[in-house]
Amino acid sequence: MRQSLLWLTVGAGLIFHGRGHAAKAGLTAQQNDRPNVVFILADDLGYGDLSGYGATDMRTSNVDSLIADGMKFTRAYANCPVCSPTRAALMTGRYPEQVGVPGVIRTHAHDNWGYLAQDAILLPQMLAKAGYHTAHVGKWHLGLREENHPLRRGFDHFHGFLGDMMDDYYHHLRHNINYLRLGFDEIESEGHATDLFTDWAVGYIDQRAAEDEPFFLYLAYNAPHSPIQPPREWLENVRRREEGIADKRAKLVALIEHLDDGVGRVIATLKKHDLYDNTIIVFTSDNGGALWAGAGNGPLRAAKGQLYEGGIRVPQVVVWPGRIKPGSVTARDMLSMDWFPTLCEIAGVEVEHEIDGASMLPTLLGRSQPGEGRDLFWTRREGGDRFMGMAAWAARRGPWKLVHGSPTEPFELFNLVEDPKEEHNLREAEKQVFRDLARRLRAHIQRSARIPWLPPRDMVTH
């Protein structure tokens, strides 16, 4: 899919920390009016784990304020029920298997199921064409090798964590390896990871407030991914407030409320610099919540790692003052990969290469938008005794959803309109629907099989 949009050619952004650009030529007034973009990605946040999405045992007032100021999505989807593929889709506008990331990129080669393709074009590269300064703060999880470092893939500034998860929110290590970086430099920092990422994001906004060009800040938190390790005072507050709450649930609620506080600090910093009214803020998650960790996915079936709705449907809210109607709600399907063309269209950058996502700008602006019946696909490749390096798949067309829970399980067919909880398998009752959707999925699998997903042979293992 190619997007035909207005293309404005400008010079590259100013130097910050990392792969800085030379000072650019003067921008027109129209170019200077481009909105800033702050894209906040939570990690493993369940569909029902915000007070604005129905949680009754937590208070997420800052995300709720975004819901009040913007548009709430009830049918937003991650491109995968696990981390790396969704992030690859977000950054490239492609199905993740089309850019070499069908599964989780991990530290050790024997359990690694992805390698971000070197010819993939990433969102910061596109936004740079419109004069945006681009920054990534927080979790990267798209490769540990230097060629896939954020500064090698289009970002001007990186202050965060290269790996998949932290074994401890305070020690910031994974397998006893330090993946914290400022630019290319390994760093050590004290404090809870959520606070660190918030501090670094606030510092970036403070600095960019004095500059003329718009900025794109991709803020990816580790929270509420395991280990479920909230600061003590936040946990004690939840226990005092929520009488009788289970210990496991209390810890997750505290970790999410602590994350919400970080979001509030980012919002306050934008307002302090009078940037809020000219900034698009997106808040969403990379996949569903982990039930074993105490997460809640609302009325949806299953959880993180699974291709049922609880694994892939996520909370999502978008604020753009003066453009998006406050308090609006949409049931439009939107996948992570759709943000690439959406933000490019907003920035005025033409997408000339093939992508799979579709711009949702008309939906954001409250206008009618055709194309609701497009075919949608999901995959997850994984190791272990259950997956054995193979992949599970899902496909959607209209209300019909085909689900392959794992390589050892049969495909199931559900009608999401009549059966939103995916309780009634209609494979035998709707054989023609099953055959048609299965045929479309097979064609997608064949297309995906052309893309390598392993790194070069010389990959360093730890």
Strands 313-319 and 279-285: antiparallel
C-alpha 6/C-alpha 26 separation (Å) is 19
Residues noted as catalytic: 83, 141
How far out from the chain centre does Cα 181 lie? 20
Strand 400-404, strand 391-397: pairing:
antiparallel
Q: Which run of H or of E encompasses 231? A: none
Provide the 3-class DSSP secondary structure of residue 217: strand
Calpha distance 128→357 (Å, rounded): 20
Residue 458 CB burial class (10 angstroms; 0-12, 13-18, ≥19):
exposed
Measured from the Cβ of residue 399, the count of other Cβ atoms closer than 10 Å reads 14
DSSP state for residue 337 in the 8-state scheme = G
Closest CA relative to residue 99, chosen from 123, 81, 133: 123
In a 3-state reduction of DSSP, which class is residue 136?
strand
Q: Evaluate whether 164 touches 84 at the Cβ level (below 8 Å).
A: yes
**Bridge partners of 219?**
40, 137
Give the three-class secondary structure for 296: coil
Residue 270 phi, psi (nearest 5)? -60, -45
Q: At what angle do helices 232-241 and 247-272 cross, to 10 degrees?
A: 110
